[in-house]
Amino acid sequence: MGQGKNNTKEKKWEQITEEERYKIEGWIETKQKAAGIAKLLNKHPRTIKREIAMGSVTQRDSELREKQVYKADYAQMIHDKRARNKGRNYKIGNDHALARHIEQKIGEQHYSPDAVIGEIKAKGLEFKVSLCTKTVYNMIDGGFFLNITNKDLPVKRDGKKRKYQKIHKVALNNRTGKSITERPEVIDSREEGGHWEGDLVVGATKPCLLVMTERKGRKERIFKIPNKQQESVAEVFDELEREMKEDFRLVFKSFTFDNGSEFLNWERLERSVLNESEKRTIVYYAHPYSSWERGSNENANRLIRRFIPKGADIAAFSDDDIKRIEHWINNYPRRILNYYSANDFYDQAA
């Protein structure tokens, strides 16, 4: 090859034309693969795969068997419709590495678009172009990506902040436990680590999850327990203390629970299993109907629901499955942590 043809610059991204669409249809009819069509049109294989996915329709053969068939006229119609509905072209252009990264994070690792973009900026990952969260949502809505759709996204929230009112009502089933109003300012302000919020995530049968969320760094601990009984919760505390010994008091300085019956035996939870004359932690209780007072815990529960939907049978998930979910949450970029994960936060603090 002569020097005049030795060009290392990538070809500028161009949209597929109507004429090229009919060529694609013809080549597909002759059993040509996407990679071969890409070479013939001097396009990236991902571009051709995305085009084929966009322009495919369902047809039935003589035996009423369904199959997907690419049709150039249908693909052109979809293209024209999208062109009318969108503003300027997406700036991602031919940055296929960024497209693959977004598809992997959302489609395989269950990230939200905001977490993907935030992590890219926080960790200084380098791509040809930069995108904002809204652009990624628009691209997904517009069918830009080959391997992800809106079905791969967490449920979108409306962005409106709920108005919270302080509750002064006393929980009639819990008159002896320490109220959240007795919690020191150092816990309320999240200045000090080691203070946790706790809750249960329940399923279709008795087994459930005891979920602990650290208030400062959002570290997550998840334990599968056989039922919602007080003793099942206390046994997790006992096992942790036996394993961690004196470190338990440093890591788990306090807990804030709701007033569910499974958490009401505060004396049992606070009492050390290694030395019954000593306390291992302090337990506080939120006001009734005030889940927002354990907001970090509630947010973590929503992340768990990406893997274990409401109504699912938790008994069907092994301990390894639960630990994988815990690991995912602790490595998930969090906006509240400037798009670092809980593990990143603790690594930096170490």
Mean pLDDT of the residues in the chain:
88
pLDDT tens per residue, range 46-103: 889 989 988 999 888 777 788 889 998 998 888 887 776 655 556 677 788 999 999 9
pLDDT tens per residue, range 216-244: 999 999 999 999 999 999 999 999 999 99
**If you search the block for the tokens 């506080």, which residue do you land on?**
284
Long-range contacts of 49-57 (CB under 8 A, 24+ apart): 49/146, 50/144, 50/145, 50/146, 51/16, 51/21, 51/24, 51/75, 52/24, 52/28, 53/146, 54/78, 54/79, 54/143, 55/21, 55/24
Q: What is the pTM of this model?
A: 0.72
pLDDT tens per residue, range 262-318: 999 999 999 999 999 999 999 999 998 888 999 999 999 999 999 999 999 999 999
Q: How many CB atoms lie within 10 A of CB 154?
A: 16
Sheet architecture: strand order including 195-202 = 178-179, 282-285, 254-257, 195-202, 208-214, 220-225
- Give dist(CA 301, CA 211) in Å, integer: 8
Superfamily of domain 178-349: Ribonuclease H-like superfamily/Ribonuclease H (3.30.420.10)
- Give dist(CA 27, CA 21) in Å, integer: 10
Evaluate whether 227 touches 206 at the Cβ level (below 8 Å). yes
Domain ranges of the chain: 15-85, 96-152, 178-349
pLDDT tens per residue, range 183-222: 999 999 999 999 999 999 999 999 999 999 999 999 999 9
- At residue 3 the predicted structure's pLDDT band, cuts being 50, 70 and 90, is very low
Give me the residues paired with residue 285 across strands. 179, 257
Instruction: Give residue 217's pLDDT.
Output: 95
List all residues 6 or more positions away from 10 whose beta carbon is below 8 Å from its beta carbon: 94
- Give dist(CA 70, CA 59) in Å, integer: 10
HSE at residue 243, side-chain half, CA atoms within 13 A, is 7
- Give dist(CA 19, CA 298) in Å, integer: 53
- Give dist(CA 255, CA 197) in Å, integer: 5
- At residue 155 the predicted structure's pLDDT band, cuts being 50, 70 and 90, is low
Among 108, 124, 116, 263, which Cα is nearest to 198's?
263
